[in-house]
Structure 1
Amino acid sequence: MGRRRKGKGNQSGESSLKGEASDDPSGKAAEGIVPMRTVSSADVESVIFRKIDEIRAEQMRLGFSESRTLGSVCPSWLPCPGYRCQPKGLVNTRNTCYLLTCLQTLFCLPPFVAILHHISVAVHSFFAEVGCLRDVWLESQAETVPLLRLLLLHLDERTPYKPSEVRTGEPILPNDFGYLPTGKPLSLDPKFFTVLNFEVGCEQDAADCMSRLITQVHEEMATLLCKFKQPEDEAFTEDNGDGDDNDGWTTVTSEGKKIKEARHAQVDNGEVTPISLLFGGTLVSRSSYQKNSRLPNKLAIDMKERFFVLPIELQDPQVGYLEDGFQFLSRGEVLSDFKDPVTGLCVIMNRRVFIDRLPPILLVQLKRFFYDSNKGGIQKVLKQIPIHRRLQIVDSIVSKERTFSKAQGAYKLKAVVFHIGYNAERGHYTAATVAQTNEVLYYDDLNVFRLGQEEEVWMDMFASHRPFDTHSARCRPLPRAQSTAVAAGAALNRPPSIGEQPRTPYLLVYVSCFQQQSQRQQQRQ
């Protein structure tokens, strides 16, 4: 049934399926047993490629628009069984909370889980296996997709594959609030740290971890798509390649103005994947300087760059709200030390960053950590930034190359990763996710808590830095003596417990509210 043979196993990267090779030492197949064939990494990856290519094609066909700022929308055609999004506690082994919270956050996103689920179904079908794949899908059979394999195995371990279970929507949870029993907590496969190049036992940055997870899954899919690509598939690449062929091209803005086409920085041959269509946005940096003081025209140097996690500055005194951080991202700046590549002379350059393309799932990093040369270490910004249910991206920070509307810039909060602590050296990560009913699930390692949808719960969880008490399942005030920066500095020698330190929002996950006309019609029906 697709199970791996017992014993030493196959060291060549191949496993055996029923109908493959015989274990008879004489080399003769036993009577009534069909000879077995071996399964290589290419065999499994070919199956995964076909499913990824199918998902991508449907995303592009049903939800993508080249002319919109919000290029893609969350796919409504790709159903995600509710049982696959069931919450699960995870064991924190040697400072691994940064990875646990990122996985909890990703696995609360139905569009992301749906992509994994449909790839998982294809692999389960290939191995003729239900439940979990770990016993049949060897590490050596995923040479191109090691992280994707780990995520699919983790999905099965959270909720084993059930071919007959097709009900979509939110997972069914107990009616009680407070501590949520989720069964035996899971321990992460140690290979996660090897594949992501993290040192086990050392605390890492959660935003960096999230960026690595999404970037690597995207790159593995892109590599697979390139590996099996057919000549007619060239249409599935991003526009504006970084070659010299587009140096003289211009584009017309939504206001009818002609501007020079921006170069597009690409590190993966511009390959579009289901992951980049879900999480990938684009920033465009527009720079200009006057090449000659006697000439009226300025030379423009524009560059587009994709992002999966968008960093927002907090240090500036003018940033008091999240919206201020987005405005600060797009502020104009003057560079006085830029050298003209032709003359070698220093010139004054004006530069401004705009959002060129918005993703359907927007990941925002609040930049709370910075290096202070005076103090000789990494410091934390404890500024309180209220996190609201809705986020509106305004048109003043959006590039005018594509059409943009207020509806395209409307997002709702789906999850938050918190950093608990006064500084970067000592801290802990937890996460909170928001259901469609506005109920909140709070994840703290192996503990999961179900909270209500009342405004008081929301304000305590997302608009304050109050620590969460796992005993009472409520937020409690910070101790008065430790609520100031001075006290925080004095507490470095004898730091308070994690339960008495500020719980600050660090990584925000927003989901687009935008719906196409076809989606709205389906909802009315």
Structure 2
Amino acid sequence: MLELMKPVLDPQNTCIVSKTVFEKTPIRAIFGGQLRSKIMRAVDVSTVNIQLFLTMQLNVDRVKMIRETLETLVNKEHLEGLTSPNMNEVVQAWQQLILDVLPVILILHLKFLDFKPDGCTKIINALEFPVNLEIESRLSSKSQTPEGRNYKLFAVVYHVGDKATRGHYFTDAFQMEHACWLRFDDATVRTITEQQVLQPQDTQVPYLLFYRRGILSGGIFDV
């Protein structure tokens, strides 16, 4: 269930803010974050749209590290053909995203499978991703504490194969009780090294990265 709130002027009278409010659920409490999308015009008040995300989609083409994909996500982007509602003419405008609220479990969806109207291709790119991930303060809201911006990798879903339309998926997951990584590949489960997790081989690419904030204790998340 969702409700679109009426746009309001922020207390500083600097922008108009609209927000979609979702019903509180356990799924949203664990996986839900918020993106703040701000459109700035050369004239007029800026507009801000706050929206929920459960997975963060990141472009991986022409980047080498996760940090670069996050920086690309929040880079200021020039908008073409945007009009001023007051002047009714095209004006210069820019859009910028910021990570407004970070979730307990951060799921990064790496767009190695590139879907286009004329077909789907796979991007095979050696992308570096860390076990310990810090979301830099300049990428997130000022309300995020340093502790709230630190994450630890606990699972990876990979796609293997040189084609986007076919291939094989398997998962690596960190087993906390024995402090080791396990690879789940169909009916096979075996222990692997951290290096094997972080350095995929051949056509193997990370498709989903699961990061947790805080620690797991007694089946609940301490944050």
> TM-score higher than 0.5 here?
yes
Correspondence for 1:286 among 21, 29, 38: 38
> Residue 407 of structure 1 contacts residue 514 of structure 1 at CA under 8 Å; is this kept in 2?
no
User: In the TM superposition, what whole-angstrom CA distance separates every residue of 1:64-104 from its partner, at most 9, and x where no partner exists?
Assistant: xxxxxxxxxxxxxxxxxxxxxxxxxxxxxxxxxxxxxxxxx
Q: Distance in 2 between matches of 1:406 and 1:299?
A: 31
Compare the two structures and name the one with the higher strand fraction.
2
Alignment match of 2:90 (pick from 325, 346, 358):
346
Task: Supply the distance in 2 between the matched residues of 1:261 and 1:355 (Cα, whole angstroms).
Answer: 18
The 5 A counterparts of 1:265-276 are 265-266=20-21, 270-276=22-28
What's the counterpart of residue 250 of structure 1? Answer: 11
Return closer, same or farther for 1:243/1:408 CA change in 2, 3 Å cut-off: closer
1:442 equivalent among 165, 169, 183: 183
The residue aligned with 2:52 is 306
> Does 1:392 pair with 2:134?
yes
* Inter-partner Cα distance in structure 2 for 1:435 and 1:271: 32
- Seen in structure 2, the aligned counterparts of structure 1 residues 248 and 388 have a Cα distance that, compared at 3 Å, is closer
By how many angstroms is 1:342 displaced?
4.5
Counterparts of 2:155 and 2:114 in 1: how far apart (Å)?
A: 24
**Is contact 2:5–2:20 with CA below 8 Å preserved after alignment?**
no
Answer yes or no: is the 8 Å Cα contact 1:340–1:347 preserved in 2.
yes
**Partners in 2 of 1:300 and 1:514 — Cα distance?**
39
Give me the whole-angstrom Cα distance separating, in 1, the residues matched to 2:156 and 2:17.
33
Q: What is the Cα deviation at residue 370 of structure 1?
A: 1.7
The answer to whether structure 1 residue 503 and structure 2 residue 177 are counterparts is no
Report how far residue 388 of structure 1 moved. 2.1
Q: Per-residue CA shift, 1:146-195, capped at 9, x if unaligned? A: xxxxxxxxxxxxxxxxxxxxxxxxxxxxxxxxxxxxxxxxxxxxxxxxxx
The answer (yes or no) to whether the contact 1:408–1:514 under 8 Å persists in 2 is no
Give 1:274 shift: 1.4
Deviation of 1:438 after TM superposition, in Å, equals 3.4
Is the Cα contact below 8 Å between 2:174 and 2:181 reproduced in 1?
A: yes
Aligned to 2:120: 378
Query: How far is 1:369 from its partner?
Result: 1.8
Aligned residues: 216
Q: Which structure is higher in helix share?
A: 1
Deviation at 1:243, TM superposition (A): 3.1
* Distance (Å, rounded) in 1 between the aligned partners of 2:173 and 2:14: 42
- Is 2:171 aligned against 1:431? yes
| TM-score, reference length from structure 2 | 0.87
Which amino acid in 2 is paired with 1:285?
Answer: S
Please say if residues 14 and 45 of structure 2, whose CA atoms lie closer than 8 Å, have aligned partners that are also in contact: no
Return the index of the structure with the highest Cα Rg. Answer: 1
- Cα distance, 1:242 vs structure 2: 3.2
Q: Secondary structure of 1:356's partner?
A: strand
* Aligned CA distance change for structure 1 residues 383 and 262 (closer, same or farther; 3 Å): same
Match for 1:264 among 15, 19, 27?
A: 19
Cα displacement (A) at 1:380: 1.1
Please give the alpha-carbon distance, in whole angstroms, between the structure 2 residues aligned to 1:386 and 1:438.
22
Give distance in 1, aligned partners of 2:47 and 2:72: 21
Instruction: Give the match's secondary structure for 1:382.
Output: coil
Tell me which amino acid in the other structure corresponds to 2:5: G
- Counterpart of 1:180 in structure 2 is none
2:72 paired residue number: 328
The Cα shift of 1:299 comes to 1.8
Query: Measured at CA, do residues 259 and 343 of structure 1 come closer, stay the same or move farther in structure 2, by a change above 3 Å?
Result: closer
Taking only aligned residues, the RMSD between alpha carbons, in angstroms, comes to 2.4
In the aligned structure 2, how far is the partner of 1:410 from the partner of 1:300? 31
- In structure 1, distance between residues paired with 2:92 and 2:215: 40
Q: 2:207 corresponds to which letter in structure 1?
A: Y
| 2:10–2:16 Cα contact (<8 Å) kept | yes
TM-score by length of 1: 0.39
Aligned to 1:362: 106
CA distance in 2 between partners of 1:350 and 1:514 (Å): 39
**Tell me, what secondary structure is at the counterpart of 2:92?**
strand
Tell me, yes or no, if the aligned pair for 1:390 and 1:413 is still in contact at 8 Å.
Answer: yes
1:414 to 150, 154, 158: 154
Specify the alignment match of 1:42 in structure 2.
Answer: none
Is 1:462 the counterpart of 2:198 in the alignment?
Answer: yes
The alpha carbon displacement at 1:420 in A equals: 0.7
